[in-house]
Amino acid sequence: MQAGYLDRPGGHRIRYACAGATDGLPVLLLHGGPGSGISRSAVRRFDPERWRTIAFDQRGCGQSTPGAGDHDNDLADNTTAHLIDDIEALRCQLGIARWVVFGASWGATLALVYAQRHPATTLGLILAGVTMTRWSEIDWLYNGLQRFLPEAWARFAQAIPAPLRHLHPVDAYRALLNADDPATRQAAADAWHEWEAGSISADPRMGWPERWRDPAYRLARARLCAHYFHHRAWLAEDQLLRDAHRLDGIPGYLIQGRLDLQAPPATAHALARAWPDSECVMIDNAGHSTGDAGMAEAVAQAAGRLLERWDGA
């Protein structure tokens, strides 16, 4: 495995790692969150003898610095546009002309933004747990979903102090995650993850992902999530649907859990209708997690179909 850092303006250092065949078809892996960090499981979906995988910790998370958990980091230079520029800088540093892009959850949104801005360098897209980070989706996840999880949402809402309860939960938690008091910031990060954990999988036995057990990880990730969602990812509400024509000629696979509460299937369905070169693959018994039954297999199958396509080109 090759690992290193990409140095960016403003003192940012982006940690990246490459694995697989050096002469394989390049695939960029974009993690979710925002702020979840490199997904080791995503690497395993791509045959190491035929793919060259490239993964990186997006700004502020994982081993990239400065970290979002640092109260002094105001995240002003941590935006969707900055992440797209980081991706292009990484591609150039690694000497890659064109690559396939894989993204899960928030990573699916980022992959779509990248491909629409840089279609000439995008060979294909594989998106899992499809999101476009529209305000309607954000509001559903942190407000509307209470219809299915009323007990958990009551705890999530009650963790907001009375003076902030007039705000949308995303905005209230953003205020708490930027509070001067470290205990207030950590308590907000913990409550944020307790809420998300209740709907990440269709399997009630799933529990918390292992790395969520680290308080520092929870703080950095929650702060990035609230930051990006407060700003609506710096995207217009239907921007990615409106600009889907920019994906013409780019093959795509949308791997979607039928029981996904965090990113309901309507989003993947709408995107597939706007993007004729895509195929929506519904996994009947899966939720949002790529660890749910059938999700990993569908990602691997999509990867295999892209390999066949480019082997025959």
Active site residue 64: no
Residue type, 63: Q
CB 35 within 8 A of CB 229: no
Give the three-state DSSP class for 163: helix
Could you say which DSSP state residue 289 is in?
-
The one catalytic residue in 12, 199, 288, 289 is 288
Catalytic residue among 64, 105, 199, 289: 105
Identify any residues that bridge with 28 across adjacent strands, giving them in sequence order: 54, 101
DSSP E strands, 153-306 = 252-257, 278-283
Residue 206: what are its φ and ψ, rounded to 5°? Answer: -60, -50
Of the listed 260, 278, 289, 292, which one is catalytic?
Answer: 260
Q: In the annotation, is 7 catalytic?
A: no
Q: How far is CA 97 from the centre of its chain?
A: 24
- Does 105 qualify as catalytic in the annotation? yes
- The CA distance from 127 to 118, in Å, is 17
At 241, give phi and psi (nearest 5°): -70, -45
Classify the C-alpha dihedral 46-111-24-6 as positive or negative: negative
Q: List the catalytic residues.
A: 105, 260, 288
